[in-house]
Structure 1
């Protein structure tokens, strides 16, 4: 009996100890071991709780077996079971539910869950985990409806097209907003400094930016300092780059065979009795050289990148500081680029109501440009021409063709470009009332650039041909300059001021109102000063100094400036939601621009949108959807970056007319142009329907959007009948339509503590065309010039912008000549036989992303697919005579002994622009494979986090195009979609390291 009583007493005692409260301590951090101050820790089922301090530490009393709930804004809630331990390190993961994200929109932020517009958000962390040289290229395949035409040229950004082209002659680029600074490009932004990139796609999101928003807006927010100890990070990567897809050209023997056959064809066409059986070597015979010109002008490209940053602060002041340096050696020999960026972001809490912040970014960049036309020259030059002959002189093709020596051209191209750019923003926030705040911001952007271009004209002449001499160069003109130097300085500045009120209030716990009212003023101006001198010494230390040239009589200078361009704007926006269920939004902006004529300076732009969160309805409580939101919006936007026109007057020879009683001859002035008085911005109207959803406990999320976007007053050319004597002029006479569907799906799951993965897929369909014109004298502009007298594009109703307009090769005749479709049945091949044959604009873009985390390993794979576009092989279509040809052209050519249905016989004449040179631009490419490993904590004494990774960029492409790359940026009527002087897509391999300490 005593034993039983003792056992009962022991059990009760142990139970009391287990149930007794004890003091526990801990720290709350993110996955990078950064403390999270202000995190909430509550004992589940009670009101007992605390917040973490400045260093993320906490202490409270709890019992064994109880659960503490840890919450922090932007991070997933975590529950921790209290055991016999007294110290805990709690790591929070960033919130995976996309609908809970805070999205940066114009002049404010909105929670994704109550957003009624189409916005794509990319986190800076996604950019930091892989080597990225320009931020826009990193967007490719990650944002539905955002087409990125990548460029791998050193220092150049990719072209961004959002929801298709809405202009023919205006600017096609989106507006960039960096920490509130409105700018035309982000080449000066260090990718490592980016916190988020938000792409505003539809009118309901864009209207707040008025007449600069019709091409879309990219809002970039850079990193800020957080409360806590100073955190230092250092990131670096280095790598090598080569051409992803080479073009096989004919070797010397194949070139000689082809060129002799072409010469024979010319002789036979001219009536020469020479026949195929009597063929001998006409001009070309066996040669000791077999030059690979592409190898001669290219090298393995090198990339090095270094970034260091420091962040941290107190309750009153927080800062982020960074320095980044990257250096690129392009694959084109001598083509180099380097850039240094410095950033300072500081936030001050002066008191509970007044806050001040500033952001300053500085870029210093040096560029040594080389003409991308060297790729075309290397393609065309004969392999029988040596790089240098046995005497060391540059090889010359005189007597063979008119193509230059690309190695010599690169060696003699001597240019230097230097850029100094500063962006600064200074913002004050004052809380007038608990629900009302006032913001005033002043921002400035200025850029200074210097361009040096030295030309050794005598040296280049002598290098062109070994038989050239100084005597031949001067040839009776003793004053002909030996060298020429031009130096140009440019200066651009842009400032603007924003003042606005923000009102946020909740009434009766269900009526949520957020309103913004403000005004903005800005101005920009540019100026340049240029000077030149001749006979500057060729010495490297003197050749860039104008004063070292001949006397002042041979020097020249010029300068100028653009008129001040001012913009004054008023804007307003109201967001309302009832119990996070019924959503309404309306925005308005009135822009006044000094660049337009009186009466057309001001424009009104607006948008309205609505949303319905169905999963907040009672009838959806048992639904399988975690979140389901429907939204719709309509708005009108503008594009102020359009071509302007002035009336021109001409005088001169032949401009004398009889006038007066005696009919004396007087010099007159001819007016040969006119303009439309109403020329101003282009207006885009857009209707958007969308849905957002999450399923399976937030594991599957997605968005679907359908849009119709119309530019209702596109600027096009008018050509009056010749009797009027008026040149073509511009007017608002066109309507351009883009309509499409965008779909995004993301699946993420955590198998266990060691294994997590995510899969993403996005798809975009866009159909583009010029739907109508309103003037009978519409001039169908042509473009896509090949530099050989041929054009490739035309603008016409019911066709996409930038459509190819070509002759149709329908076969090869019994003489090996192209047979063209005689569309107009007049028996000859003329302009009436051209047809529209597709556009460089793709119809479908597909991105696929995969990520995997297993223990300390991480893997990311991104792919990109483009379908439905066409590309014109401009290099292949530029043959004038005895230029090289692709090996496939040689293999497929027609000969009398081997007739071909796909290739013509060898020829030397300029070919007509036809579909023979038009190819499919469809391609599938692996954009990125990155494998990383993060060392365990405390592996090193100095670093608290070390991640090592290896990356393959563009390791594989599957394409139909026979040229270097199907991605060819440019203007709609320019070289977009035409491979001519284009930079190839590169394959890159990098190794890198991310550290923090």
Structure 2
């Protein structure tokens, strides 16, 4: 016979919260199923098995606490209230409230989640971060998204109202996401009523970062990544396209065109599509006959070999695109002031060749306590950006490079025998333009923008419960663009002239807000807030 004795240690203690006993808290030996519940005085006694040295204390509404026993046999354990989203302070209109006190529909966006997806603007990063908010983007670098709160509310403009540091802003595509401290979405009429008719589509309120308590602090953040275009659609190759062409004409009772694919019982792929339908050795494809005359496009004699395996147009116009961001921030505070200064550089190439977006931005937020009850401050952002993104109503239009990539027939190569562009000039091959040629010719086009946005404010506390605030802010925007339009020769529908277009626009808007607030708490539990 054998006898095993397991050494145990008796540990007693008291669990309190805010110097009050916690009744009914669970005290468990970590890693075991040994547990007890605290009594009316918050006290407990528990037997701790050998080899175990930690207790886990849990109670609804209090933060779970793990305590190391060590050599002690008596413990005094203090627990704290669990911080929940109901205690979050939410900006609603021109004031702030605890989330638990709000009766309207308000969503608080977690900024850490917002920045977990690299992007040029906060609009595109907002996708999937708040219930009832729909974000649609065509993924062009630097281009703002379409944001809808609870669907469409009118036949006109359905964009929400954006408020940045108390100042109305047209969109968020110019705001540096690294500068955002908090974001709230006011979704119903009750929450957004203070903004009037402007808030009929909802309101998105953004507060930018400010200096925190402590000495000067420098932070640097960066990321670098690559965006892959994917394989694109699985389209027909040249022979499959020829077979489909014959089948479509046959099924519709029309004569099969013999220009490119011959006059046999089945389509035959030619060696050349221009001159149409020619085979190798034909005198018409003698390179000596080649003539490209930009002064007489229609009189030019071009020779284009057929791509019998098929041109992958999506692959020709797309590429792996790098994306990077560098952000450096200097912040700090003292007894009478706080400050934050930040610089940001964002660079994103498009997966469509010869397209990019670059942004440089600077932020300066300061606040000074002139006296104990008087504060002044300012929030300022200066931004400049440059891009060369895809034109023609985004990526989704029929006339865009992506659209032309799917419309072009696979038998058409990118270049002709002399290295010039090839296209649908060859007969019976549609009227799509060469999308790679379009992007190459547009590589020097530019759109440049300068924006200054911010506000100045002053606050005065008086008569114990009153605060007067005045804020004057707005923005100034200057935009310049230029683009070239070149003669084309490779398409069935060509541009017949060269042109250069340049333009600019500028606008400014200002908002002056004055408010008086009364705040008081009665009997320690009744809050009154009058604006």
TM-score range normalised by the length of the shorter chain: 0.7 to 0.9
**Structure 2 residue aligned with 1:326:** 346
Q: Distance in 1 between matches of 2:471 and 2:234?
A: 56
Structure 2 gaps, min length 5: 1-16, 22-61, 72-78, 258-262, 272-305
Q: Distance in 2 between matches of 1:94 and 1:221?
A: 27
- CA shift at 1:419, angstroms? 0.3
- CA shift at 1:232, angstroms? 1.4
**1:408 aligned to 2:437?**
yes
Among 235, 240, 245, the residue aligned to 2:221: 235
Among 206, 212, 235, the residue aligned to 1:226: 212
TM-score by length of 2: 0.73
Q: 2:126–2:135: 8 Å Cα contact kept in structure 1? A: yes
Q: Distance in 1 between matches of 2:511 and 2:367?
A: 20
1:887-917, CA deviations, whole angstroms, 9 ceiling, x for partnerless residues?
Answer: xxxxxxxxxxxxxxxxxxxxxxxxxxxxxxx
Change beyond 3 A, Cα 1:379–1:166? same
**Structure 1 residue aligned with 2:464:** 434
- CA shift at 1:181, angstroms? 1.4
Change beyond 3 A, Cα 1:77–1:217? farther
- CA shift at 1:353, angstroms? 1.0
Q: Distance in 2 between matches of 1:147 and 1:173?
A: 11
Cα RMSD (Å): 3.1
Change beyond 3 A, Cα 1:285–1:81? closer
Q: Distance in 2 between matches of 1:78 and 1:101?
A: 22
Change beyond 3 A, Cα 1:219–1:165? same
Q: Distance in 1 between matches of 2:371 and 2:320?
A: 56
Change beyond 3 A, Cα 1:111–1:186? same
Q: 1:124–1:192: 8 Å Cα contact kept in structure 2? A: no
Change beyond 3 A, Cα 1:424–1:511? same
**Structure 2 residue aligned with 1:487:** 502
Note the 1:248-287 alignment, pairs <5 A.
Answer: 248-266=234-252, 268-269=253-254, 280=265, 285=270, 287=306
**1:346 aligned to 2:361?**
no
1:184-215, CA deviations, whole angstroms, 9 ceiling, x for partnerless residues?
Answer: 21111111111111000111101111011111
- CA shift at 1:129, angstroms? 4.8
TM-score by length of 1: 0.40
- CA shift at 1:114, angstroms? 0.9
**Structure 2 residue aligned with 1:395:** 422
**Structure 1 residue aligned with 2:133:** 146
Q: Distance in 2 between matches of 1:368 and 1:264?
A: 45
Change beyond 3 A, Cα 1:448–1:83? farther
**1:97 aligned to 2:84?**
yes
Q: Distance in 2 between matches of 1:363 and 1:301?
A: 23
**1:361 aligned to 2:381?**
yes
Bigger RCO of structures 1 and 2 (CA < 8 A, at least 6 apart) = 1
**1:504 aligned to 2:519?**
yes
Q: Distance in 1 between matches of 2:256 and 2:479?
A: 59
Q: Residue 491 of structure 1: SS of its match in structure 2?
A: strand
- CA shift at 1:143, angstroms? 1.3
Q: Distance in 2 between matches of 1:270 and 1:280?
A: 12
**Structure 2 residue aligned with 1:211:** 197
Q: Residue 216 of structure 2: SS of its match in structure 1?
A: strand
Q: Distance in 2 between matches of 1:78 and 1:222?
A: 34
Q: Distance in 1 between matches of 2:387 and 2:424?
A: 31
Change beyond 3 A, Cα 1:83–1:324? farther
Q: Distance in 1 between matches of 2:457 and 2:491?
A: 59
Q: 2:118–2:125: 8 Å Cα contact kept in structure 1? A: no
Change beyond 3 A, Cα 1:107–1:244? farther
Change beyond 3 A, Cα 1:353–1:376? same
**1:190 aligned to 2:217?**
no
Among 100, 121, 124, the residue aligned to 1:113: 100
Q: Distance in 2 between matches of 1:79 and 1:146?
A: 39
Question: Where is the strand percentage greater, Structure 1 or Structure 2?
Answer: 1
Q: Residue 152 of structure 1: SS of its match in structure 2?
A: coil
Change beyond 3 A, Cα 1:203–1:313? same
Q: Residue 256 of structure 1: SS of its match in structure 2?
A: helix
Q: 1:127–1:192: 8 Å Cα contact kept in structure 2? A: no
1:608-640, CA deviations, whole angstroms, 9 ceiling, x for partnerless residues?
Answer: xxxxxxxxxxxxxxxxxxxxxxxxxxxxxxxxx
Q: Distance in 2 between matches of 1:433 and 1:351?
A: 15
**1:137 aligned to 2:110?**
no
Q: 1:306–1:324: 8 Å Cα contact kept in structure 2? A: yes
Q: 2:330–2:340: 8 Å Cα contact kept in structure 1? A: yes
Q: 2:212–2:338: 8 Å Cα contact kept in structure 1? A: yes
Change beyond 3 A, Cα 1:78–1:218? farther
Q: Distance in 2 between matches of 1:80 and 1:228?
A: 30
- CA shift at 1:242, angstroms? 1.8
Q: 1:317–1:347: 8 Å Cα contact kept in structure 2? A: yes
Q: Distance in 2 between matches of 1:310 and 1:200?
A: 31
Q: Distance in 2 between matches of 1:133 and 1:175?
A: 20
Among 393, 397, 402, the residue aligned to 1:375: 402
Q: 1:149–1:159: 8 Å Cα contact kept in structure 2? A: yes
Q: Distance in 2 between matches of 1:95 and 1:349?
A: 33
**Number of equivalent positions:** 418
Q: Distance in 1 between matches of 2:364 and 2:149?
A: 31
- CA shift at 1:431, angstroms? 0.7
Q: 2:330–2:342: 8 Å Cα contact kept in structure 1? A: yes
Note the 1:813-828 alignment, pairs <5 A.
Answer: none
Q: 1:319–1:347: 8 Å Cα contact kept in structure 2? A: yes
1:246-301, CA deviations, whole angstroms, 9 ceiling, x for partnerless residues?
Answer: 211101110111112223345x24799xxxxx963579646444211111111111
**1:445 aligned to 2:465?**
no
- CA shift at 1:135, angstroms? 1.7
Q: Distance in 2 between matches of 1:80 and 1:500?
A: 50
Q: Residue 128 of structure 2: SS of its match in structure 1?
A: coil
**1:454 aligned to 2:484?**
yes
Q: Residue 332 of structure 1: SS of its match in structure 2?
A: coil
Q: 2:386–2:446: 8 Å Cα contact kept in structure 1? A: yes
1:849-906, CA deviations, whole angstroms, 9 ceiling, x for partnerless residues?
Answer: xxxxxxxxxxxxxxxxxxxxxxxxxxxxxxxxxxxxxxxxxxxxxxxxxxxxxxxxxx
Q: Residue 421 of structure 1: SS of its match in structure 2?
A: strand
Structure 1 gaps, min length 5: 1-41, 47-74, 85-91, 273-277, 474-481, 517-997
Note the 1:773-784 alignment, pairs <5 A.
Answer: none
